[in-house]
Amino acid sequence: MRAARRAALLLGLILLLLLAVGPAALAQPEESGGPGWRNAVPGEEWSEVEGPPTSGSFKASRALEAPTVVEWPEPALQGPFWKIWGQLQFEASYQKDKDAAGATSHSDQAVLATAEVFLELTPLPFTRGLLHFLHQDGNSGVDLDEGFVVLGRTPKFPGYLMGGRLYPAVGLFESFMISDGITKELFETQASGLEAGWSSQWYSFSLTGINAPVREPGDSGGLLANYLVRADLVLPKEALGGLEMRVGGSYTNNIAASDFLQEQVPNQRLSSLVAGWSLSASAQYKHFSLLAEYMRAGTFEPGELQYAPPDSRPQPWAFSLELAWVFAEDWVLSGRWEGGGDLYSEFPQRQYGLSVSWQPMKYLALALEYQRGYFSDGAESDLVTTQLSLMF
């Protein structure tokens, strides 16, 4: 406990010292990477990121959601092309909790939060495969997080077919901060499935069928019994004088397939499937970026979600609003307001956060974050987290 607390304080002091020195004195040359980064990966190459994502593990299958905004040339392959890449995230944190009765408790830790490796294979210009091995804090080993094959989605043919273990496009789930948003923690879904889509410069559309463990009684769980539809419209910056914007939404007939909700369903059986939908928007103008998302599930019957009171008919929903500002070369200041309803003691009803991150070189980042949460039963929490992130 003391060692973890010292580590958290040390990383925090280092970042505060760097802030005190001044962003201008620490700025890197323009050719070293540009101001700030996005968590989304543009274009055809998943690994062509401008810097390491700060928020959790990167999901390669999610990169296919965004329309292609750059006309990438067809790869000139002389045979099978391999690529290996990944990232490491070390975090130290201190948390103070106050329950509804006013009693307080403290905890701290220093952990390897994320370690992941991606293996890409491109045997032909229109065929790609990827394996994603992931270790996260709380897991005892390394898991196969993603493994899929993609056919198509080339500059000449935007249509594609993807099959394997993937993350369906339930929500936006992007962030400039260290912590994952409540929308992601509540609704993110991992499943084996098949996705057909179209990803052009101005818009994208996808239809995904998944094998979900949560089913109706007597349902054999066929691939098309659980589906998700998503559509996005993108306005390139050339169209609006430098303002880039993306708006979209999704609908699924089985929102309980999300990683969190399926663990809350007794025996993973519902009297009838519960649908869910989302609306999201992201925008970037010069040094400012905005992320907004709203997600809502249908109504569950009493006793179908273990975290909810037995006599309730919960309808969980969540929202997230985040603003990021590149205030100096390689420095990003981010703030987030988020919350939801029918979350009870699992997630804060309202939560506010602020983070600052520094990217001294292209694949290295250091970040400091503070979050304060308020729960529906009157409990409160304060969390300070520091993170050192390296992509290789």
Tens of pLDDT, residue by residue over 148-197, are 999 988 878 889 999 999 999 999 898 999 999 999 999 999 999 999 99
The pLDDT value recorded for residue 10 is: 42
Tens of pLDDT, residue by residue over 353-372, are 999 999 998 889 999 999 99
pLDDT band of residue 42 (cuts 50, 70, 90) is very low
The pLDDT value recorded for residue 52 is: 55
- Domains recognised in the chain with CATH numbers: 2-391 (2.40.160.10)
Average pLDDT, the chain: 83
The pLDDT value recorded for residue 21 is: 38
The pLDDT value recorded for residue 83 is: 87
The pLDDT > 90 percentage for the chain reads 62
**pTM for the full predicted model:** 0.84
Tens of pLDDT, residue by residue over 200-213, are 888 899 999 999 99
Q: What are phi and psi of 171, to 5 degrees?
A: -145, 180
pLDDT band of residue 329 (cuts 50, 70, 90) is confident
Instruction: State the CB neighbour count (10 A cutoff) for residue 230.
Output: 23
E runs forming strands in the chain: 81-98, 104-124, 127-136, 143-152, 159-166, 191-199, 203-211, 227-235, 243-252, 276-285, 288-297, 317-328, 331-341, 350-361, 364-374, 380-391
The pLDDT value recorded for residue 321 is: 97
The pLDDT value recorded for residue 53 is: 59
User: 98: which strand partners?
Assistant: 104, 380
pLDDT band of residue 225 (cuts 50, 70, 90) is confident
